[in-house]
Amino acid sequence: MTLLYLVAVKLYAFAIVIASLFNKKAAQWVSGRKNWKSKIASVLKPGEKRLLFHCASFGEFEQGKPVLEALKNHYPQHKIVLTFFSPSGYENKKNDPLADYVFYLPVDGPFNSKNFIELIQPEMAFFVKYDFWHYYIKTFKDKKIPVYFVSSIFRPTQIFFQWYGKFFDKMLRRVTHFFVQNQGSLELLYKNSIPQVTVTGDTRFDRVFEASQHPKPLPEIETFKGKHKLFVAGSTWGADEQLVAALIPDLESDYKIIVVPHEIKETKISKLKILLGNEAIRYTEWDKKQTSARILIIDNMGMLASIYQYADLVYIGGGFGKGIHNILEAAVYGTPIIFGPKYKKFREADELVHWKGAFSINNERGLRDKVFELIHEPGRIDKIKEINTRYINNNKGATNLIINYLKMNP
């Protein structure tokens, strides 16, 4: 099985090399790993104590950021080595001040893992959520370097727990400790004789709570909203945008609309502007002093999380595709949230639907009915704000639990 795993990893890497000929992201993946040994050796300083903090991509970095900040404070004498598997993480965070060094994680293999770890020489390693790599985990174990997984979540359907998954099961057994999101993950690991686990919760709650305490002001969005109510459709895909476009003619005139598509390619934005009609203005073409505009299309990156602070109603995209996007960035402000039917894999969405702080719809009629229900039922939105705020407050604190465990188990 080890040979099959190695072949699969090599084939995956080879496929990305081929894709790099015509795909920018794949090209970044390949070029970022060229001559990695000499690149790393040339910047590391001798005699340093180091911690390794690994994230698969940008999303995992945002999830693990509270832990990274806490580690930096708790281990001030250590240098932080931040690694990514994906360009979406590396390209966005290669100059992040939280890290002393930022690298791509070399492709897993017996020589790469050994050489990389011997170069870095970390005293501890932290992996956010997933990214289980056989040779890396084995090398950490062989070299007696503690490796921790943060905000992990496990389900019975995963390969680790199948009769044919013994090879992958061994990875779990070599991990020093798991900090998992929920009781179900703990019970599943216990059931499979993996006792090195603590339920700490999801560090994303800490992340969004911290951000909400000092939200980045967006004066231009305040100007756009004015004295109106604001409907925000965030991280939308085509199916979501069709629903939002159908809603707009019936949405009451005291509501303004902001649409933040998941992709901001020029062709995508142009089609979206046509779909939303003449009232729609692109953010990059908008005269920020113009207050009469009703629909604003955000055609740049990095604004969505800050926009949510101004929203009165939020629609989150992705629920008609592979699954919904981050709802916690909106929930932290108490805002009522609506999304499509594919949300069951996301604990926070499932729980907020149960508590009636978020709502799932299946079609245009469902979105229209839910929006009008929320708008016209007296006191409903205020009650939802209480539910969502309480939910965030009750679930934050994972970072402190992780750091306290490390203090007690040095």
Contact 231/250 with Cβ under 8 angstroms? no
Tally of domains in the chain = 2
21 within a domain of the structure (yes/no): no
Across the chain, which has 410 residues, the per-10-residue mean pLDDT values are 91 94 94 95 95 95 95 96 95 93 96 97 95 96 97 94 92 97 96 96 94 93 93 96 95 93 92 92 83 89 94 96 94 97 92 96 96 90 95 96 93
Same domain, yes or no: 81 and 227: no
9 within a domain of the structure (yes/no): no
| Residue 18, pLDDT score | 95
Same domain, yes or no: 185 and 307: no
- pLDDT tens digits, one per residue of 373-391: 999 987 899 999 999 999 9
Same domain, yes or no: 254 and 335: yes
Same domain, yes or no: 296 and 381: yes
Same domain, yes or no: 380 and 401: no
Same domain, yes or no: 152 and 164: yes
| Dihedral, CA of residue 384, residue 353, residue 296 and residue 268, to nearest 10 | 170
19 within a domain of the structure (yes/no): no
Same domain, yes or no: 187 and 80: yes
| Residue 302, pLDDT score | 86
Q: How many CB atoms lie within 10 A of CB 347?
A: 15
Same domain, yes or no: 160 and 199: yes
8 within a domain of the structure (yes/no): no
What CATH number is attached to the domain comprising 160? 3.40.50.11720
7 within a domain of the structure (yes/no): no
Same domain, yes or no: 261 and 383: yes
- pLDDT tens digits, one per residue of 134-144: 999 999 999 99
∠ Cα 166 185 389 (to 5°) = 155
Same domain, yes or no: 92 and 223: no
pTM: 0.87
- Give residue 370's domain range: 217-395
